[in-house]
Structure 1
Amino acid sequence: MLALNGGPKVRTQPFPRWPEYDETEHLALARALQQGEWGRHGGKEVQAFEREFAELHQAPAALAVTNGSHALELALELAGIEPGDEVIVPAYTFVATSTAVQRRGGVPVPVDVTADTFCLDPAALDDAVTDRTRAVIPVHIGGHVADMDAITAWGEARGVTVIQDAAQAHGATWRGKGLGTLGSIATFSFQSTKVITAGEGGALLLPDEDTYENAWVRHNCGRTRELHLATASSNFRVSELTAALLRAQLARFADQNARRAARHTELAAALGEIPGIRLQGRDPRCTSTPHYMTTFVLDQDELGGLDRDTVALALLMEGIPAFGSHRPLHRTDAFWTGATRDIRPEELAEYCPNAERVGRDGVLIPHQALLGTRQEIDDIVTAVAKVLAELPSDGIAAAV
């Protein structure tokens, strides 16, 4: 019997905590405090973190900012996005991708994702472009890098700026190289669930020093290093305390990434043997990923219309951290509170069938589940198999 209906749980022990921390973080915060300078002006932690984060991604420069949403907004500001400009985004992504466009006065234009990687489909770009298109934001969803070869070539041919939303893709590589080598700005989040975190925070990778300097001025209230108020912008500066935490967390990243990769290989192989689920695919040119989320989609042809939310709830009751995937942008109320094209949600749904499927039937397992032992993997697989086998007869009635 399912735990949802009062049966025994598959797992009663907690999964590994997130974030991982110890005396290293205490010492980092003490180091920042003892500087006597807690903002980036006069301190050393922010600058050191920027160097280290840029090095991880083989980028010419990085800029630390307040959060991932602000990183996107600043990237759009650097791209010169103005009210009425259109920015192509994947329909399947967290709503911050489109909200950042709308907060600049721009118009986000959702397009479909691929059926396997759940990343923006380059084949959908030509149908979405207009003479108002100024940028495209591929999202490296779950840490899987979008087809940057095709998207970059498409943008260069049309004079459209490419901005990578890498909020979930810390340390990912494309053709063996870091995201900072791809010639475009990439934005990151350090929010609580991310694989590098300080609770909040964000960063941009910049393709050259001139772009870094422009971004630095704009994140500093539009004020130059000589204190000249050069342009209208905002305050996106991050504190020395946040940067000190991020440096400590960054030092853990390589070990954590190796552990996640090993466990994910085991999890993917085992889940792949369970009828009725389809795992997120990975472009072979994406040579490494942090496995921010393990995502699988319920195959309704095999499962006969099983409700995704009930599946996620049943897994939680079995002691497994599992959640429903992001809703497509056009299925959120937030998307329609800003500027959009004159189109109805159902029309967008017709254009974006893959995003609809993942948003309706996708289940997410967070990365900290991969930081334990083989036992955690076995428990996840056992619970998924149990829920899918028993829920049609045992769980649906209980959930009504």
Structure 2
Amino acid sequence: MNARPAPRFPEWPQYDDERTGLIRALEQGQWWRMGGQEVESFEREFAEFHGSPHALAVTNGTHALELALQCLGVGPGTEVVVPAFTFISSSQAAQRIGAVAVPVDVDPDTYNIDVAAVAAAITPRTRAIMPVHMAGLVADMDALGKLSADTGVPILQDAAHAQGARWQGKRVGELGSVAAFSFQNGKLMTAGEGGAVLFPESDLYEAAFLRHSCGRPRTDRRYMHQVAGTNMRLNEFSASVLRAQLRRLPAQTALRDKRWALLSRLLGAVDGVVPQGSDVRADQNTHYMAMFRVPGISEEDRNALVDRLVDAGLPAFAAFRAIYRTDAFWETGAPDESVEQIAERCPHTEAISSDCVWLHHRVLLADEPDLELTAEIVADAVAAV
């Protein structure tokens, strides 16, 4: 590769008004959600931002999925259909509560769950369909909604990447199904850790509140725990940070969308590089990751490519490994199939897991000359493989 200066990217996480919120939380005298105001204020603001009647803040995104699945009736003896190409939390959330995670293939262009594959995987034991809005690109919620209506199997949107995303003008909370979010350190808005669940119905929200607070009603003073639960309560300090992060999100989303239009065009002009595709119905893509494929490359060469990009100053990463090609997937709640049997019905996941690279979303907050330099670095690195 030719020597050239490294691009300049903003740091992540970003912060400013967070200091004010942290002091406010500190000085209110109550650092617990049951006595403070920050968590409840964040829940109202997050729900309103996404067009949902109810939001429940929790400890992290994985817990958000687990809690949502429990409220949808998922547990031992049931199945959850998940994309084979996703972060492992999507499947582990189901497996940790005793269900079987059934991986299905994804679309080779958008990397989102293949609806036909979902339909083929549904059995009488299926209790939830979990599309992941990969990198902030909303999955085909029209087709998934029809499938859900036809089968009676509810949808749980894994929206960990999709704070502020829209589908045909509708926000995530307006799509009629439960949605779970993550606020882990790398996410589009973050408090280091944290999560939230949007509920379209009051009864689901109330059931989730009980389970996330050890099964104890809000006003209980005699330890009358009503259901089996655990402690997933978010603390006041994290909520104060998230309130500031939420206020900053719309401007950042608009900038990332604008920058991706440029970067995807530049990457698409590089011989051998194919950027993640789009769907015109997903009219607000949040671009959690700037993803691209190098079709035909081996996993070993892809990993070497990532190393070259990192050495050149890009925050680059190998794409998620197919969940069924991890030891963790097989520890509990795996389907009665072999790795190769699942791989045979997930050819697109096999390819994407081997040939895909992603860049951290802070790249899309950089200036245009730095994106032009980014594309040049990718071109040189790919040519060197």
Give the superposition deviation at 1:306.
7.7
Q: Is 1:72 aligned to residue 68 of structure 2?
A: no
Residue deviations 1:299-327 (CA, integer Å, cap 9, x gap): 22xx6998110111111111111110000
Any unmatched runs of 5+ in structure 2? none
Aligned match of 1:53 in 23, 46, 52? 46
Aligned match of 2:261 in 258, 265, 274? 265
Give the superposition deviation at 1:210.
2.4
Contact 1:312 1:363 survives alignment (8 Å) = yes
Q: Is 1:187 aligned to residue 180 of structure 2?
A: yes
Which residue does 1:357 correspond to in 2? 351
Q: Tell me, what secondary structure is at the counterpart of 1:161? A: coil
**Residues 233, 305 of structure 1: CA spacing in aligned structure 2 closer, same or farther, 3 A cutoff?**
closer
Q: Which amino acid aligns with 1:101?
A: A
Q: Which amino acid aligns with 1:287?
A: D
Q: Is 1:316 aligned to residue 317 of structure 2?
A: no
Which residue does 1:250 correspond to in 2? 246
2 CA distance for matches of 1:39 and 1:219?
A: 14
User: Which moves more between the two structures, 239-248 or 213-222?
Assistant: 213-222
Which residue does 1:290 correspond to in 2? 286
1 CA distance for matches of 2:52 and 2:11?
A: 31
Which residue does 2:142 correspond to in 1? 149
User: Which moves more between the two structures, 130-139 or 70-79?
Assistant: 130-139
Give the superposition deviation at 1:339.
1.6
Contact 1:11 1:320 survives alignment (8 Å) = no
1 CA distance for matches of 2:5 and 2:209?
A: 48
Which residue does 2:340 correspond to in 1? 346
- Number of residues of Structure 1 aligned to a counterpart in Structure 2: 382
Give the superposition deviation at 1:11.
3.2
Give the superposition deviation at 1:27.
1.0
Q: Is 1:383 aligned to residue 364 of structure 2?
A: no
Which residue does 1:398 correspond to in 2? none
Residue deviations 1:20-39 (CA, integer Å, cap 9, x gap): 112x1111100000000001
Q: Tell me, what secondary structure is at the counterpart of 1:286? A: coil
2 CA distance for matches of 1:187 and 1:11?
A: 40
2 CA distance for matches of 1:295 and 1:111?
A: 20
**Residues 294, 13 of structure 1: CA spacing in aligned structure 2 closer, same or farther, 3 A cutoff?**
closer
Contact 2:8 2:370 survives alignment (8 Å) = no
Which residue does 2:226 correspond to in 1? 230
- Aligned-residue CA RMSD (Å): 1.4
Aligned match of 1:198 in 191, 196, 210? 191
Residue deviations 1:48-103 (CA, integer Å, cap 9, x gap): 10111111111111110000000000001101112121110000000000001011
2 CA distance for matches of 1:124 and 1:222?
A: 37
Q: Tell me, what secondary structure is at the counterpart of 1:288? A: coil
Which residue does 1:98 correspond to in 2? 91
Q: Is 1:209 aligned to residue 205 of structure 2?
A: no
Give the superposition deviation at 1:353.
0.6
2 CA distance for matches of 1:176 and 1:29?
A: 34
Residue deviations 1:227-250 (CA, integer Å, cap 9, x gap): 131101111100000000000111
Q: Tell me, what secondary structure is at the counterpart of 1:287? A: coil
Q: Tell me, what secondary structure is at the counterpart of 2:265? A: helix
Contact 1:292 1:367 survives alignment (8 Å) = yes
Q: Which amino acid aligns with 2:61?
A: G
Give the superposition deviation at 1:267.
0.4
Give the superposition deviation at 1:12.
3.2
Q: Which amino acid aligns with 2:96?
A: R
1 CA distance for matches of 2:349 and 2:291?
A: 13
Among all aligned residue pairs of Structure 1 and Structure 2, give the percentage whose two residues are the same amino acid. Answer: 47
**Residues 110, 12 of structure 1: CA spacing in aligned structure 2 closer, same or farther, 3 A cutoff?**
same
TM-score (norm 1): 0.93
Q: Which amino acid aligns with 1:141?
A: M
Q: Is 1:368 aligned to residue 362 of structure 2?
A: yes
Q: Which amino acid aligns with 1:202?
A: G
Give the superposition deviation at 1:14.
4.4
Contact 2:299 2:355 survives alignment (8 Å) = no
Q: Which amino acid aligns with 2:127?
A: R
2 CA distance for matches of 1:346 and 1:336?
A: 13
1 CA distance for matches of 2:226 and 2:170?
A: 35
Give the superposition deviation at 1:209.
2.3
Give the superposition deviation at 1:190.
0.2
Give the superposition deviation at 1:261.
1.2
Which residue does 1:395 correspond to in 2? none
Any unmatched runs of 5+ in structure 1? 393-400
Contact 1:88 1:135 survives alignment (8 Å) = yes
Q: Is 1:307 aligned to residue 301 of structure 2?
A: yes
